[in-house]
Amino acid sequence: MEIADVAARLAAYQPRRLQANGTIPAAVLVLLEPAVEGPAVVLTVRTDEVEHHKGQVSFPGGARDPEDPDPWHTALRETSEEIGVDPRDPRQLGQLDEIVTTSEFLVTPYVAALARSPYPYRPNPSEVAEVLRVPLAWLLDPRNTVWEERDYHGRRLAMPAYWWRGTRIWGATGRMLHDFLEILRSGAAA
């Protein structure tokens, strides 16, 4: 699947917005980097120094600052701070459903694409241990989705996870990634 296909499928999608009192507004980028073999999804491995989700895989992004005019700018600012992406470079393709994380963040996920590859990421060493590029084609293969039993708000649920070269992609990132992939697979609004 090419980036143009992703843009077309997201154009037909109406994201769910949530009203969640007592949560912290945040935004992330599901960032796509072009490659000869097809686009890759850019993820970060968080350091053990960050406040939340130490050592976990996440999309670049974070909490909204008071001076951010909207969630899109939050995602761009945080992506710039975390991995050095120039805020002018990502082209917005669409938005996914908002989710509330177990750490009480209300996350607005945006899908965006970079025009060049390889991109010269500059990870912030206090926040990002590694930048991962996971092929979209690999993620779209349903055989690579692992369903894990987890306690979620007092209920036992099966949650999607992915194991990319020994690295576990799970939690809120796994949920958002699964939602994104389902939109791409269906090609229609959910």
- Predicted TM-score of the model (pTM): 0.91
pLDDT band at 167 (very low <50, low <70, confident <90, very high): very high
pLDDT band at 20 (very low <50, low <70, confident <90, very high): confident
How many domains are contained in the chain?
Answer: 1
Q: What count of other Cβ atoms lies within 10 Å of the Cβ of residue 186?
A: 12
pLDDT at 187: 65
Q: What count of other Cβ atoms lies within 10 Å of the Cβ of residue 160?
A: 20
80/131 Cα distance (integer angstroms): 13
pLDDT at 13: 94
Q: Please compute the mean of the pLDDT values over residues 120-136 and round it to a whole number.
A: 96
Q: What percent of the chain has pLDDT over 70?
A: 95
pLDDT at 21: 84
Q: Is the pLDDT of residue 118 over 70?
A: yes
The alpha carbon torsion through 177, 180, 184, 185 (nearest 10 deg) reads 60
CATH code at position 142: 3.90.79.10
pLDDT band at 52 (very low <50, low <70, confident <90, very high): low
Higher per-residue pLDDT: 20 or 186: 186
| Domain coverage including residue 42 | 3-186
pLDDT at 189: 41
Q: Please compute the mean of the pLDDT values over residues 49-77 and round it to a whole number.
A: 88
Q: Please compute the mean of the pLDDT values over residues 173-178 and round it to a whole number.
A: 96
